[in-house]
Amino acid sequence: MPLPALSEARATNPDTALIARVRAGEPLAFEPIMRRHNRRLYRLARSITGSDAEAEDVVQETYLRAYEKLDDFIGPEGFAAWLARIATNEALGRLRKRGRVILLDDRRRGGDGENRERGIETMETHQPGPERLAANGELRRLLEHAIDSLPDEFRAVFVLRAVEGMSVVETADSLDIRPETVKTRFHRARQRLQETLGAQFDALMPAAYEFGGSHCDRVVASVLARIAPPAGDGRR
């Protein structure tokens, strides 16, 4: 069965249907899976590694590992979180090799282990409107720098919640931490960013860590080159 056009695959095939096709020996069915999850995984990897190039490498390695271990995924729900955990482990492993360690799993410490900070619910700002600011490349870089400056344990939670729009439960599943920890770290991250950027920063979040176009194509092409069999070979 030939792979449908990408737009059709996105519209009619949930992850579970595409996974079934890959398991049945159709590796090209992995392409719409990658395009569906590319930006989220990139943003997650970027929030941990702090490097654009390394985050892209993490995403590629995540897909390769997921492809090889696809039979380990039980499903049918939870594929996005399963991919996110692979990406998180890959990104953290790279930091350990560089001599840095981030403890995302608060259970090792018996709690958050973070000091309470002064909360700021609203702040006035004299900056232009968020629509104009979001279109400004310099502001986007300022925004990303502010997120990068968050403590390591806050950054991944904030990116998944505020930038990617994931729920508390989805974020907790992706990072393998407690929902209560997600809430605490997200709240404290917001406080810090409000201090830096003002109360309008929420409207700017979708502009952070964009990943599409040539970046997305490059990841997909690189992974497919390694998993797709030669022409005429129907094996996985």
Residue 1 belongs to some domain of the structure: no
- Asked whether residue 89 falls in the same domain as residue 153, the answer is no
157 within domain boundaries: yes
- Does residue 223 belong to any structural domain of this protein? yes
Q: What is the CATH number of the domain that holds 43?
A: 1.10.1740.10
Instruction: Assess whether 92 and 162 both reside in one domain.
Output: no
State residue 83 phi and psi, 5-degree precision.
-60, -40
Tell me what pLDDT residue 9 has.
41
* Tokens coding 63: 């897909």
For residues 6, 12, 15, 18, the Cα torsion angle rounded to the nearest 10 degrees is -70
Q: Categorize the per-residue pLDDT at 84 as very low, low, confident or very high, splitting at 50, 70 and 90.
A: very high
CA-nearest of 178, 194, 185, 176 to 155 is 185
Is residue 24 located within the same domain as residue 85? yes
pTM: 0.72
Task: Report the mean per-residue pLDDT for the chain.
Answer: 77
Do 191 and 221 fall into the same domain?
no
User: Which CATH number do you get for residue 190?
Assistant: 1.10.10.10
Residues 165 and 95 in one domain: no
End-to-end CA separation in angstroms for the chain? 14
Position 110 in a domain: no
Q: Is the pLDDT of residue 107 over 80?
A: no
The pLDDT of residue 146 is above 70: yes
HSE-CB of 132 using CA atoms within 13 angstroms? 3
Sole residue written with tokens 């409107």: 129
- Please give the pLDDT value at position 212: 65
Query: Within a domain: residue 129?
Result: yes
Q: What is the mean pLDDT of residues 124-129?
A: 42
Number of domains present in the structure of the chain: 2
Mark whether 126 and 55 lie in a shared domain: no
Residues 89 and 159 in one domain: no
Same-domain status, 193 and 158: yes
Residue 140: inside a domain, yes or no? Answer: yes
Count of H helices and E strands in the chain?
Answer: 11, 0
List, for residues 172-229, the tens digit of each pLDDT value. 988 889 999 999 999 999 888 888 877 666 666 666 777 667 888 999 999 999 998 5
- pLDDT on residue 137: 65
Q: Which pLDDT value is given to residue 4?
A: 45
Select the more confidently predicted residue: 180 or 230.
Answer: 180
- 44 found inside a domain: yes
Of residues 59 and 203, the one with the higher pLDDT is 59
**Amino acid type, 175:** L
Omega into 179 within 30° of 0, i.e. cis?
A: no
Tell whether 14 and 95 lie within a shared domain. yes
Q: Is residue 221 part of a domain?
A: yes
Task: Give the integer Cα–Cα distance in Å for 13 and 17.
Answer: 6
Instruction: Provide the token pair at 49.
Output: 């590694």
Strands (E), 78-219: none
Q: Are 129 and 135 in contact (CB under 8 A)?
A: no
Q: Are residues 191 and 177 in the same domain?
A: yes
Give the per-residue pLDDT at 73. Answer: 93
pLDDT of residue 218: 92
Domain that holds residue 59: 10-101+212-227
Q: Which residue, 30, 27, 33, 53, is CA-closest to 42? A: 53
Residue 127 sits in the same domain as residue 198: yes
